[in-house]
Each structure stands twice: as C-alpha cells, then as structure tokens.
Amino acid sequence: MRVVVTGAHGFLGWHTRVRARALTDHVVVPVAQVDWAELPRLLADADAIVHIAGVNRGPDEEVEAGNVRLAQDLVAALQSVGGAPVVVYSNSIQAGNDTPYGRGKERARQVLADYAGSVEAPFVDVVLPNVFGEHGRPDYNSFVATFAHRIADGVQAEVVDREVELLHVQAAADALLAGLDAITDGVVRPAGESTTVVTVKEAFERFYGVYRAGDIPVLASQFEVNLFNTLRAAMFPQTYPIPLLRRTDPRGSLVETVRCHGGQGQTFFSTTRPGITRGQHFHLRKVERFVVVAGTAQIKLRKVLTKETVTFKVSGDAPAIVDMPTVWAHNITNTGDTELLTMFWTNELFNPEDPDTHPEDV
C-alpha cells in the first residue's frame, strides 16, 4: 500500500514509520509540518492515510483550533485529489473531555469521519492512552521521557503521583498500522499498562542504580523492558562505552562481561576476519550487548530513517560494554590485522519465528 503518514517526524510518527519499514512492504510517504502546503501532491494515489499530526502544547485556543485545522486541511487536500483511501486517525483517550486538547481531538475525529463517510472509505479511530518509549522528548511528549532524561542526567525528578495508563510507542504504532487493513469503520482501543507516576520514577531509579555500572537489572515484564529501553535511549550515547574491570593473576585475566540480576538471556560469540563487517540490522525491542574480547573494532550506529550516526572504537585490550539502543541500525567492523573475537548477549532467547532482527545498512 501507499501510505501517507502525517506528523511523520514526531515521536509517534517516526516510530510508526520505523515499524512499517521493519515489518511491512508498504511505501510510506512522510508528511512533516514543513510539507503541509504540499499535501495534495503527497496524497495523490494514496491507498491509506495515517493522521498523527496534532497540537499538544501551546495556548488553549491554539491547541483546540490547531487540531481541528489540521484535520480540515487534510480533508481539503483529499477532496482536491479525489479517491477514497482508508483513514486511520491517531486519537487520544482525552478526546471529548472538557479541555482544549480533548475538544480539539474530538472535533478533528468528526471532521475526518465525516469525510470518510462521504466517499465511502473506511475510517479507523485508534484511541490511544498515554504513549511512552525510546526518544520521546522530555518536557513535551510525556512525563516518562522527562523522568528518563532527568535520571540519566543525574537530576532529581519532581513527582506529583497519580494513576496512569501507559502504552509503549511500538504498540501504538502497531495499532495504527493494523488499521490499514480495515474494510469497514471501527474503533480500536489498545490497552496499556496500569501504573502510577511514582512507580515509573522508582523503576527508572532502580534500573539506573544497577545499569550505570553495566549490570542488567531485573526486568520482570515486557513493560519493564520497555521502560528500560526508554532509559537506555536517554543514556545514549554519552554513557558508552562502559569500562569493564579486568582481574589478573599469575594464571591470566578474567573479565565479567554480563551480570544479569534476573530474567532470561542468551550469550554467544563470533569471530570476524580483518576488514569484515557484521550486523547491519536493528531491533524494535531487544537489549543487545557487544563486548570485544580480542582484537580491535569499530562499532557504528545510525538512528533509523535519519542520518544521525554514532561511532565507538573498542579493543580487547580494554574490554568495555556497548549496548545497542533499539531502533538504531548497527554494525561492527574488524579494524585490526588479527581475528576479532566479540561476545554478544541479548535479553531474550533467539526465536527464528520472531527474531526481532531487521536488515538495515548503517
């Protein structure tokens, strides 16, 4: 399908595009704010629209009117090019409540639903709770992003406790992409994790206290893995490599490369000839650790769908941890003239039916 995604460079929009790249064959047409005047051209021949663009912050009047205006602009552009694409709307559980944001989201839903009905196209209303995950903007996308960055920076996070429902951004993206297959109207309400603000803060503090020395904390659920990956994203790249302690006696040396405080995992190693590159893929959920134990190497990473890159030079003479952040393509190249020996660890057992390994050149 040819899928147009509005708000494509925002937090949820970017994750949706990454997930589509990893798991589908859709041709995704990203639309950012700077592209808004080009909507009619970008919408030509679209099979589906995923409307994520919205106004989350600002004066009350702009928040309410801005969300409605974006939907009206989208409809006007669709009317100018004709066709009846599937319309998937990224809505909020706040829609319809008596706040500027809630009123704006509800009115925008009605504008899009009315248009879809007028051309007999399916309309899918995806109602999302609070969304969190890797690379959320602190003080903007969610309190989760704010806490992760505060703790990573060694700053005390202020807390006003309340109950909250949290949905990982990749689960939100999955719900939006699933809507592309709709043949009739529908409402989708993916369930998040019921928790509290204090629980999230305490989890981050617990993870950070263990992980800042390189140990893997207890990750008792997928929700905790998602929180941990969110914290790791906030700590990347400034935290890495994490040096490892080498213990030496007359027999030789010992280095503890993985200390896991709970849960399952899998360890393996590879040998790599001089000049050869391994990897060239990314993960959506896995925690993956690289430790070079013999030889010299370059580890290079690129944030998927961007040109942002990070490079680490590592050596078996000074073993150190570099953990791969999710949604970053990565590789490792033997830069020496001897065989490279690298140890790898992941937090889950390899499943050939769901490997979470998506090819992507760095």
Task: Copy the structure tokens of residue 76.
Answer: 């006007």
Distance CA 362, CA 331 (A): 7
Q: What is the largest CA-CA distance in the chain?
A: 81
Question: 3-class SS at 230?
Answer: helix
Distance CA 36, CA 355 (A): 37
Label residue 190 left, alpha or beta by phi (over 0 means left) and psi (-120 to 50 means alpha). Answer: beta
DSSP designation for 216: B
- Greater confidence (57 vs 232) lies with 232
| CB-CB contact of 296 with 314 (8 Å) | yes
**242-359: CATH number:** 2.60.120.10
| CB-CB contact of 195 with 142 (8 Å) | no
Task: Answer yes or no: is pLDDT of 197 > 90.
Answer: yes
Transcribe 233-292 into DSSP letters.
HHHTTTT-SEE-PEEEETTEEEE----B-SS--EEEEEEE-TT-EEEEEE-SS--EEEEE
| pLDDT score recorded for residue 320 | 97
- Give residue 73's pLDDT band: very low, low, confident or very high (50, 70, 90): very high
Q: What are phi and psi of 80, to 5 degrees?
A: -75, -25
| Region of poorest pLDDT, from 57-61, 115-119, 228-232, 294-298 | 57-61
End-to-end distance of the chain based on CA atoms, in angstroms?
Answer: 26
In percent, the amount of the chain with pLDDT more than 70 equals: 100
| pLDDT score recorded for residue 180 | 97
Label residue 83 left, alpha or beta by phi (over 0 means left) and psi (-120 to 50 means alpha). Answer: left
| pLDDT score recorded for residue 266 | 95
Distance CA 126, CA 117 (A): 17
Average pLDDT score over residue span 166-192: 97
| pLDDT score recorded for residue 33 | 86
- Give residue 198's pLDDT band: very low, low, confident or very high (50, 70, 90): very high
- Give residue 264's pLDDT band: very low, low, confident or very high (50, 70, 90): confident
| pLDDT score recorded for residue 95 | 95
- Give residue 35's pLDDT band: very low, low, confident or very high (50, 70, 90): confident
- Give residue 252's pLDDT band: very low, low, confident or very high (50, 70, 90): confident
- Going from the C-alpha of 73 to that of each of 8, 67, 157, 354, the distances in angstroms are 16, 10, 39, 40
- Give residue 34's pLDDT band: very low, low, confident or very high (50, 70, 90): confident
| pLDDT score recorded for residue 280 | 97
Peptide bond into 243 cis (omega under 30): no
| Region of poorest pLDDT, from 230-234, 295-299, 351-355 | 351-355
| pLDDT score recorded for residue 253 | 87
Distance CA 271, CA 257 (A): 17
| pLDDT score recorded for residue 249 | 80
| pLDDT score recorded for residue 284 | 98
| pLDDT score recorded for residue 326 | 98
In the block, residue with structure tokens 């589908």: 24
In the block, residue with structure tokens 């003239």: 337
Task: Answer yes or no: is pLDDT of 262 > 90.
Answer: no
Task: Answer yes or no: is pLDDT of 238 > 90.
Answer: yes
Q: What are phi and psi of 334, to 5 degrees?
A: -75, 110
| CB-CB contact of 49 with 74 (8 Å) | yes
Task: Answer yes or no: is pLDDT of 251 > 90.
Answer: no
Task: Answer yes or no: is pLDDT of 220 > 90.
Answer: yes
- Going from the C-alpha of 135 to that of each of 11, 140, 281, the distances in angstroms are 7, 11, 19
Write the class of the CATH domain 2-200.
Answer: alpha beta
As a whole number, the mean pLDDT across the chain is 96
Task: Copy the structure tokens of residue 224.
Answer: 């905790």
Label residue 338 left, alpha or beta by phi (over 0 means left) and psi (-120 to 50 means alpha). Answer: beta
| pLDDT score recorded for residue 156 | 86
Kind and range of the H or E element at 210? helix 197-211
| CB-CB contact of 331 with 277 (8 Å) | yes
In percent, the amount of the chain with pLDDT more than 90 equals: 90
Angle at 145 between CA 345 and CA 284, to 5 degrees: 35
Query: How is the chain split into domains, by residue range?
Result: 2-200, 242-359
| pLDDT score recorded for residue 92 | 97
The angle, 0 to 180 degrees and rounded to 10, between the axes of the packed helices 143-152 and 197-211 is: 30
Burial tier of 193 (Cβ tally within 10 Å: 0-12, 13-18, 19+) = buried
Closest C-alpha among 127, 137, 131, 130 to residue 169: 131
- Per-residue pLDDT tens over the stretch 116-157: 999 999 999 999 999 999 999 999 999 999 999 999 999 988
- pTM for this prediction: 0.94
Average pLDDT score over residue span 197-222: 96
| pLDDT score recorded for residue 159 | 87
